[in-house]
């Protein structure tokens, strides 16, 4: 397992937090995610994600299902940053 920190901006933090899409997308791939929000009220959010491997994560993020989930969640793809546990 690899642990990642993933940050990005969203259109609506409350919608993003309540969305079932994250679990629907990550769960079947053996990935888990814990959510975090910017306490200042900005639309910045983050995840600590445990993934089977970087390859699995990177391949999954290139799929139409990932794009659909991000669109549904209001994720702004151009703000996505991924950090790998050192």
Domain boundaries, the chain: 2-84
- Spatial separation of the C-alpha atoms in residues 70 and 86, rounded to whole Å: 26
What pLDDT sits at residue 25?
Answer: 95
What is the CATH code for 2-84?
3.30.70.600
What are the DSSP E strand ranges found in 1-63?
2-10, 32-37, 44-51
What pLDDT sits at residue 41?
Answer: 87
* pLDDT digits 0-9 by tens, 21-78: 999 999 999 999 999 999 998 999 999 999 999 999 999 999 999 999 999 999 999 9
| Per-residue exposure over 20-56, b if at least 16 CB sit within 10 Å of its own CB, e if not | ebbeebbeeeebbbeeebeeeeebbbbbebebeeeee
Residue 15, pLDDT above cutoff 90? yes
What pLDDT sits at residue 86?
Answer: 86
Tokens of 7: 């940050």
By the 8 A CB rule, do 26 and 74 touch? no
């Amino acid at each position: 397992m690899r642990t990642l920190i993933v940050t990005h901006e969203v259109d609506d933090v409350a919608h993003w937090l309540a969305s079932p899409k994250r679990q629907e997308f990550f769960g079947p791939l053996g990935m888990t995610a814990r959510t975090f929000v910017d306490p200042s009220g900005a639309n910045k959010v983050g995840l600590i994600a445990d993934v089977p491997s970087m390859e699995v994560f990177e391949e999954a993020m290139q799929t139409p299902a990932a794009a659909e989930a991000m669109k549904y969640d209001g994720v702004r793809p151009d703000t996505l940053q991924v950090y790998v546990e050192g």
